[in-house]
Amino acid sequence: MNMRRLGRTDIDISPIGLGCMQFAGTDNYTRLIINPINQETATSVVRAALDNGVTWFDTAEMYGKGRSEETLSTALRQCGIAPGQVSVATKWTPHLRTAASIAATVGDRLKHLGGHPIALHQIHSPSGSLSSISAQLKVMARLFREGTIGAVGVSNFSARQLELAHDVLAAEGVTLASNQVRISLLHRKVEQDGLLETARRLGVTLIAYSPLEGGVLTGRYHGDVSLARSAPPARRIFSRNQLSDRGLARTAPLIEAMRRIGEEHGATISQVALNWLITRYGDTVVAIPGASRPGQAAEAAGTMSFRLTESEIRTLDELSLI
Ligand SMILES: NC(=O)c1ccc[n+]([C@@H]2O[C@H](COP(=O)([O-])OP(=O)(O)OC[C@H]3O[C@@H](n4cnc5c(N)ncnc54)[C@H](OP(=O)(O)O)[C@@H]3O)[C@@H](O)[C@H]2O)c1
């Protein structure tokens, strides 16, 4: 599958990247959402992603205050990847901070990334900061102009906030590269809330996070519903509608269709879930599945070796709305 342009930047990325929240360690909130992994496993995960065509990695300050960034940079070094050879995206944490902290903390990001440049720096959330969105983007624009970061992105922004971010940056002569949001076969809000249409119009890439809904879209819970009770605690709470016996029964026909369609391509259920994302929305959407094992990272990257047909996409579209 061809590489994708990140927004209107000159950065090319693989349609599938690797989400690195799983690298954040055990002493922070992320362990409530994902199963954390150690350095050795993280290095194997990164190696599996690289070996199967992944060219970029998404991390964040919030993932263990630099721990995920550090684990990623160590993994890349252990895999023999030199700075600049792959693209690294990270994020600034806005909570209870002013815009000035973007510039004040970018050095920490670079330090944790161990020499790997920041290809994309993102505002993690539109809320929580003591400064306006405009003020935050102006600092990002300055860092871009100075060459400290390669591109500017946002995360969890609504259509209206995206428009504002785009306009503020445009006035500074800078392009808005991306908005990282939750999109999956079971979470298609972007089609209704104007975000997809706005991103397309503005030439902004949507980076789909939690594209496997934490494993629901791999079929693993449908195969053994009792497994849902061992999902990480925050997933059990926030995804309770998906993980309940009733929720799993509701999505069983979708998973069954994904299995059948996958067989046509020699692909797994999770690969069908990811392929739907990077095919259904054209070039606008790329995805960053997370992995806690190298086999999962290889499987996710393997998604890039086939393409669902239009009729298969339509079938999945219909079943995912039931
Ligand atoms: N910007 C934001 O606000 C935001 C929010 C959330 C996430 N993110 C980013 O998005 C990335 C991905 O999201 P996510 O980790 O929440 O969800 P996800 O990609 O939907 O799910 C990843 C989890 O699914 C399981 N899995 C993956 N491949 C599998 C396979 N082939 N078979 C069975 N299980 C499989 C693994 O869990 P097990 O360990 O249980 O096997 C893995 O940790 C994160 O790493 C992070 O970088 C960003």
Report CA(104)–ligand 1 centroid distance (Å): 30
Ligand 1 nearest-atom number relative to CA 211 = 20
Among residues 29, 63, 209, 281, which one is catalytic? 63
- For the Cβ of 220 lying below 6 angstroms from any atom of ligand 1, the answer is yes
Average the pLDDT over 241-255 and give the result: 95
| DSSP conformation class of 303 | G
pLDDT computed for residue 314 by the predictor: 98
- For the Cβ of 126 lying below 6 angstroms from any atom of ligand 1, the answer is no
Beta-bridge partner residues of 13:
4
Average the pLDDT over 24-51 and give the result: 95
Instruction: Determine whether domain 4-214+281-306 maps to CATH 3.20.20.100.
Output: yes
Q: Is 63 known to be catalytic?
A: yes
Q: Could you tell me the sign of the dihedral formed by the alpha carbons of 136, 138, 140, 142, in that order?
A: negative
pLDDT computed for residue 321 by the predictor: 86
Confidence class of residue 1 from pLDDT cuts 50, 70 and 90?
confident
Report CA(173)–ligand 1 centroid distance (Å): 35
Report CA(289)–ligand 1 centroid distance (Å): 5
Please state whether the predicted TM-score (pTM) of the whole model is above 0.85. Answer: yes
Q: How do residues 168-190 score in pLDDT, each as one tens digit?
A: 999 999 999 999 999 999 999 99
- For the Cβ of 209 lying below 6 angstroms from any atom of ligand 1, the answer is yes
- For the Cβ of 18 lying below 6 angstroms from any atom of ligand 1, the answer is no
Q: How do residues 184-211 score in pLDDT, each as one tens digit?
A: 999 999 999 999 999 999 999 999 999 9
Ligand 1 nearest-atom number relative to CA 60 = 47
- For the Cβ of 156 lying below 6 angstroms from any atom of ligand 1, the answer is yes
**Cβ 99 vs Cβ 126: under 8 Å:** no
The mean predicted confidence, pLDDT, of the chain is 97
Average the pLDDT over 306-312 and give the result: 98
Phi/psi of residue 281, nearest 5 degrees:
-105, 15
Report CA(18)–ligand 1 centroid distance (Å): 9
Percent of the chain with pLDDT over 90: 98
pLDDT computed for residue 209 by the predictor: 98
pLDDT computed for residue 247 by the predictor: 95
Ligand 1 nearest-atom number relative to CA 33 = 16
Question: For every residue of 1-15, which 3-state class applies, written as one string?
Answer: CCCEECCCCCCEECC
Region for residue 161 given its phi and psi (left: phi exceeds 0; alpha: psi -120 to 50; beta: otherwise): alpha
pLDDT computed for residue 322 by the predictor: 77
**Cβ 46 vs Cβ 247: under 8 Å:** no
Confidence class of residue 65 from pLDDT cuts 50, 70 and 90?
very high
Q: How do residues 80-105 score in pLDDT, each as one tens digit?
A: 999 999 999 999 999 999 999 999 99
